[in-house]
Amino acid sequence: MEDTVTLCDIGNTSYHFYDGVEDRREDVLTFDPSSVKEEVYYVSVNSALTQRLSTLDQWHDLSKYVAWSSYYETMGIDRIMACEAIEEGLIIDAGSAITVDVVEAGRFMGGFIYPGIASMQKAFREISPKLDYKLSFELDLDKMPKNSQDAISYGVLATLYREVIRHNKKIYITGGDANKLAKIFPSATVDELLLFKGMKKMMEKRC
């Protein structure tokens, strides 16, 4: 495998490219993947785009190289690539959903999915306009709340915090809300390129 390759993480709204030095995003509605001339290795949670890219010779789907017996059939490819990046630890991917996965000695041990921050805030807002608060990540989770904003924040964050901490693992946080969650996990490593590191590691082992 070449030292420098172009990787791409494809979601429902964007192509996220990384060439080992710079990363950039392109909108799925306006970007033409056939305009790319170099070889691209990608993962995708967008089934329509995956189908389209299968007809383009320069685009290579890394999901074909996954040892699926080590994971489970319906597990998101983005979660799998993040797990491939580390040998030991717990990964929090803070996106539209929050996923938590545990890896021990290079093996996926299991994980769970939690509603994302925006989804949680929307849910409380739909219950009552009086519950329309942004989550407070500076909250002291060792004290019982005495106001509405803290009560909502505690209800969301304390459960996640305690479930993560009980595994007693090194914590890696990635995803769009990584820096917010890092406030309640101050010893965690924030790594926005974790998924790409997993993609490259898989390529080195299996491509």
Could you confirm whether 78 is annotated as catalytic?
Answer: yes
pLDDT on residue 11: 87
- Which range is least confidently modeled, 2-16, 57-71, 149-163, 165-179? 2-16
pLDDT on residue 3: 58
Q: Which of 151, 149, 156 has the alpha carbon at shortest distance from 118?
A: 156
Shared-domain flag, residues 93 and 61: no
The set of long-range contacts for 98-106, using a CB threshold of 8 Å and a minimum separation of 24, is: 98/160, 98/175, 98/177, 98/181, 100/160, 100/163, 100/164, 102/167, 102/169
**Residue 190's pLDDT band (cuts 50, 70, 90):** very high
Q: Mean pLDDT, to the nearest integer, of 17-24?
A: 92
Per the residue annotation, which of 78, 93, 101, 177 is the catalytic one?
78
- Provide the pairing of β-strand 59-61 with 40-44: parallel
Shared-domain flag, residues 31 and 110: no
| 158 pLDDT above the threshold of 50 | yes
Shared-domain flag, residues 95 and 184: yes
pLDDT on residue 94: 94
Shared-domain flag, residues 194 and 92: yes
Percent share of the chain, pLDDT over 70? 98
| 2 pLDDT above the threshold of 70 | no
Q: Encode pLDDT of 26-43 as tens digits.
A: 999 999 999 999 999 999
| In a domain? residue 82 | no
Range of the domain at 52: 6-65
pLDDT on residue 4: 74
| 1 pLDDT above the threshold of 50 | no
Shared-domain flag, residues 95 and 133: yes
Task: Compute the mean pLDDT over every residue in the chain, rounded to the nearest whole number.
Answer: 94
| 99 pLDDT above the threshold of 90 | yes
Q: How many folded domains does the chain comprise?
A: 2
Q: Encode pLDDT of 73-98 as tens digits.
A: 899 999 999 999 999 999 999 988 99
